[in-house]
Each structure stands twice: as C-alpha cells, then as structure tokens.
Structure 1
C-alpha cells in the first residue's frame, strides 16, 4: 500500500514553524517594551514601570504615550506609568494604551486594567465544572468560576500537530493524541455543552470580559520533545501579548525549562512551578513567583512552607477537594488553594 505523505509533510511543517517561532521569539527577547505591572486601583494609580527589555537604563524621556487614551496617563521619574486620578476612579474596567520610544523604533499596545480581582485565594481547577455540570477547560467553566467569585481559574494548554494552541487537560482526546492530530480533527466532536474545543486566542478574548477572576494558564510540557514545549511556551506568550491579556494571566507548568523560558520572555510575569521536586531556595533563586505543588509534597516537606514564605514565594497547592484538607492548608496560610470544589472552599474562606 502506498504511504500517505501527509504525516511527513505535517511533521516538516511543524518543525519549520517551531524553528521559525523560536527564532522570532529569541530575537524579540531584547528590545521589547514591557511593563512591570498592568493594573491600577482607584486608591493606587501607579500602573507599573516601563522598560525596554535588555536596556533597563532608558530614561522617562525615551518614551511617549500614543493613542486616544494617552492623555489619561503620565510618565514620572524612573519610567513609572500612572493613570491620572479621575480616570482611576472612573467606571471603566480597562483602558487601552500605546507606548513607544521617542525615536519611533519601538512601540507596544497594552490593556491597562482596573484591578478588582478577588483576593480569596480560591483557584477553580480547570474552571468550575464539577458541580455546574459544564465541561472542564471550557469557556463555560471559566464563566462559572467568575460567577462564583473565584480569585482564579486554572486551565491547560497543549499544542496540536498543526501548531494550534488549545485548551485540554489530557494528552489525548477521544483516542486522538493531541500533539499528533490537527486541530480540525480534534475539534470535530464538540464538548458536552456544544462548545467547540477552545483555542487559546478565543478563550483569552472571552475571559477578558471581566476583571474579577484571573486566568491561571498551565503550559503542558511536550511528550514529543523539549523543543516543542518551548515552542508552545513562546507561542502562548506571543498570543497573550497580542490579546493584551498580561494583567489577567499567571503562568504555571510542570516543565522547569518552560518556567525559565517564560521569565526570559517576560521577566515580570507571575510564574509558578508545579512538579514538586525543587526546594524553595532554588525556585526563589531563579526568580519564580511561587510553588504550586501537590498537597502530598507539602505534607512530606512541611519545612518548605516556612522556607517559601521566608524566600518571598507564594504558596499554591493542588488538588484539594476534602474539607479537612482545605482546613489544613488554610491554617497554614497558603496564598492559593486549587480545587475541584470551589463552592465548598469559598464557604470556608468567607467564615
């Protein structure tokens, strides 16, 4: 039987795409305009510090504000970006702003967000799906987490064979290996609520309609190669930037190389490590945001809880579904608890 050229062509195309993406991302590591933060509150109108990645010594005069909303902001000493007081107190949930260099060589668009995120530490695992009967890792499960008032909603991102970033937890869907199957084939069967298998770009757009629940974006390591996992990481960061979603997104991953690459691409991103095999001192030395370990790890290494706090790391734990376990981690004053039972955990934190 004559063999089809499709798998060969797909592999060649994916390899070419990943090499091109990696080269593009590598070249953009330096020379990009970044913000150290993207949000303000009515009480604190400091947004963040403007930097050129790789040239942090730029002065305030090097930057200009552009666009219809430029007059709502001002740059102060040390490249600090402020939203003007009356706009910080307005009803707007976000404001779009373009920032460029005075010589016109660099420019970037940002969505500056009014920070009204909940601070209850409740992270809905794959969204709020279990008690709402909606699919995991769906737009609907994120929306249910928002309705509940969760601080964050976690979801998983894979790369399909034709390099589409999609939301799904397992490595295979209905017997189809995600990394070896096209998005068209993966999405032929809709989710149980009729929703199409979400692409990341569509999910970001839908989740940015509010400013109370954060996206906790898990980048899945590749089973094919580490290079493919890095290519996924670079694509995810690019799509988050293009969507102007930085204020909404925190990152997590089981791949330490992925965590490190995230911080190379955006040194100000909140990045936490999932695998549970590194002590807090090592994670802190690499400037990660926090530990996000399975509850068994923290019970086996209770000293890591104290050490993490001393190192200035945040503490998240997964997946905590029993009431007595929730009580234990609440008593230990964890910053976040990831759960399939956000309703129960919310009841506890409100007491």
Structure 2
C-alpha cells in the first residue's frame, strides 16, 4: 500500500494556539521519512495560496522550501526518535493558519500479512480488541484490519458486525455500548482508544474498514467524515489506510483527502474502473480473484495494489503468494508469516 496518509477536509479542523486561527485545510502528501529518504512530502492546501513556515520546538529539525516541500535533516533522520510533531503556519491578514502533523520514522513492516480483525484466533483473544491489535504488532504483521461503526449519538466504535450482544450499534447510545465487555474482558473499544493504542508504535499499519451503514447512504457519508476527522485530530495519518464495501465511501475518502490510501472491497469493479476513479487498489474476496485471475496482473500494471480476503488455508495462501499479490488478509497470520519466511 502506498505510504501516504493525508487529511484535507473542508471542515473546521483548525487547531487553536491561543491566537486567532483561521480554518485549516492543510495536508501533506506523505508523513514518513527514513535515513535513506529524507524528503517527506509537500503541503497541500484548499484555496490557500502562498508559502508556509515551520514553527515550534521541532522546526529547526526540518526544512520547508519555497515550493512547500518538506524534508528532514539527515542527522535527525538517523536518530532513534520514532516521530516528531511539526507545526505549519501561514499568516493570513490578522489571523494565522496553523496545523500540526506527526512526521513518523518509517520502520513499518513490508511483508504481505494483514491480520483480519487483529491476531486473535490462535491466541484465543477477542477479535477487533486492543489485545488482538497488540498481538498483530508483536507478530510483525504489515497491517492489522479493524471495522468501525457509529453509535446513535455519533461515537465511533470498533466491531465487525452491526450488532453486538443483541444491540444494534447504530441505534444504541454510546453510554450503553461502553458498558459492554468483550469475551477477553476488555470494554468494546472506541475508535479513539484503538487508534491511540495503534500509534504507540511505528511497525504495523492500521487498516480501517468504514462499515456501510444499515441506516442509509447519508449516515455512511457522515461516518466517513467523522472517521477522517478523528484520524486528523489524533495525528494518525501515517498509520491509517482505508477500506470499504461502499464505492461511494471510497470516493468520499478521496474527495476529502486525495492522498489517503483507500481500497475497494466489494469485488464488482474492474481495475480499469478503480484507476479511473483514483481508488488506490482492489481488496477482493479470494473467490472473486480466482474467478478473475487476470485482474491481478491488470491491477499491478495500473500500479494498483492487490489485496485478497479472507484466505486461511495453506493451499489458497500459496496460490496467491505465487501470483505476487501485494497483501493477504487472513485469520491465520502465524501460518502466512511462516510461509513467507
């Protein structure tokens, strides 16, 4: 998956720094660096012309050129710090436009393994729990997939199904959902809690599925906007990729954030269609790709990523490995890790 995570919402994302601060529509085309790749990315703006400057305690560690291209000092890139928070500013009359982004050292794993709902099955914990996320990180998975719904009062929760313990998440207040316990004793995690845990490290990416609302398209769009705002607020852009079954949700993510990585799940679009709509890749059920094997090479020729779900048996895992798909989502990450090693 492309190493790009940006937010560019036409909403009130401005951070307050004790001065008059205009609405922020800033994003970066990339949020990571490495000792061998000190160029980070460029600032993107919505209807905001002009140059920005870096301010704050970490400003001297980076350089922003006249084209708003950001880079990190080579000696700083070699340091052990996992990330730096960096403040961008542009004066606009009597107000200033500011936003803060977390620039992350790229130590992310580059294998093909995405743990489906985290690593939970072999270790006997709850799927989509913080423990399953921690297990996926410890195993060394490229990504840990998880699912997000919105409660009746618009709080975001992580759970696969639309219902949990007899309650419809979208029709239940958050106060009731927060009382629920998973089988491993954890509380039902909010998206905020899940992301907060996930960004404590910089090895495993967070593969966020935006669940299709059972209450209609408008609510799916509202869910999408709230998720992107949460990712922005927590400065988690460098960690998060997006997936969705609703094609309109995928396009909405790209509309709000053109540089976000988003892939489509439903299996009814050709690589040509995905490329035309600037979706970054396909993430289809294994039966779809076995039926349409030519889509794998077609997608790769178009520079789209190819992921396949949910592959759990050794023969099928081997079949997709032999065809060099980019990623495999599995309930058996230990098995797949053993095969690729």
Do these two structures clear the TM 0.5 threshold for a shared fold by scoring above it? yes
Cα deviation per residue 1:70-114 (whole Å; 9 max; x = unaligned)? 110001253210011111000000000011214353211101000
2:330 maps to what in 1? 339
Is 1:70–1:98's contact at 8 Å kept on the other side of the alignment?
yes
Q: Distance in 2 between matches of 1:181 and 1:231?
A: 17
Q: Distance in 2 between matches of 1:52 and 1:196?
A: 39
Question: Which structure carries more helix by proportion?
Answer: 1
SS in 2 for 1:78: coil
2:188 maps to what in 1? 197
SS in 1 for 2:67: helix
Q: Distance in 2 between matches of 1:134 and 1:180?
A: 27
2:90 maps to what in 1? 101
Is 1:64–1:102's contact at 8 Å kept on the other side of the alignment?
no
2:154 maps to what in 1? 163
Q: Judge which range, 289-298 or 27-36, deviates more.
A: 27-36
1:87 maps to what in 2? 76
Q: Judge which range, 251-260 or 103-112, deviates more.
A: 103-112
Q: How far apart are 1:183 and its partner, in Å?
A: 1.8
Is 2:253–2:260's contact at 8 Å kept on the other side of the alignment?
yes
TM-score (norm 2): 0.92
Where in structure 1 do 4 or more consecutive aligned residues deviate above 4 Å? 25-31
Cα deviation per residue 1:183-212 (whole Å; 9 max; x = unaligned)? 222232311222111111111111111000
**CA root-mean-square deviation:** 1.4
Aligned residue runs from structure 1 range 104-253, under 5 A: 104-253=95-244
Is 2:10–2:25's contact at 8 Å kept on the other side of the alignment?
no
Structure with larger RCO (C-alpha < 8 A, sep 6+): 2
- Measured at CA, do residues 27 and 239 of structure 1 come closer, stay the same or move farther in structure 2, by a change above 3 Å? closer
Q: Distance in 2 between matches of 1:202 and 1:186?
A: 14
1:281 maps to what in 2? 272
SS in 1 for 2:88: strand
Is there any run of 5+ residues in structure 1 with no aligned partner, and where? 1-24
Q: Does 1:298 align with 2:298?
A: no
1:47 maps to what in 2? 40
Say which of 56, 65, 82 aligns to 2:54.
65
Q: How far apart are 1:28 and its partner, in Å?
A: 5.6
2:16 maps to what in 1? none
Q: Distance in 2 between matches of 1:308 and 1:136?
A: 30
- Measured at CA, do residues 203 and 140 of structure 1 come closer, stay the same or move farther in structure 2, by a change above 3 Å? same
User: What is the number of equivalent residue pairs in this alignment?
Assistant: 322
- Measured at CA, do residues 108 and 281 of structure 1 come closer, stay the same or move farther in structure 2, by a change above 3 Å? same
Q: How far apart are 1:342 and its partner, in Å?
A: 0.2
Is there any run of 5+ residues in structure 2 with no aligned partner, and where? 1-8, 14-22
Q: How far apart are 1:31 and its partner, in Å?
A: 5.9
Q: Distance in 2 between matches of 1:204 and 1:67?
A: 25
SS in 1 for 2:96: coil
Cα deviation per residue 1:20-52 (whole Å; 9 max; x = unaligned)? xxxxx6556996111000000111111111121
Q: Distance in 2 between matches of 1:179 and 1:305?
A: 36
Is 1:121–1:336's contact at 8 Å kept on the other side of the alignment?
yes
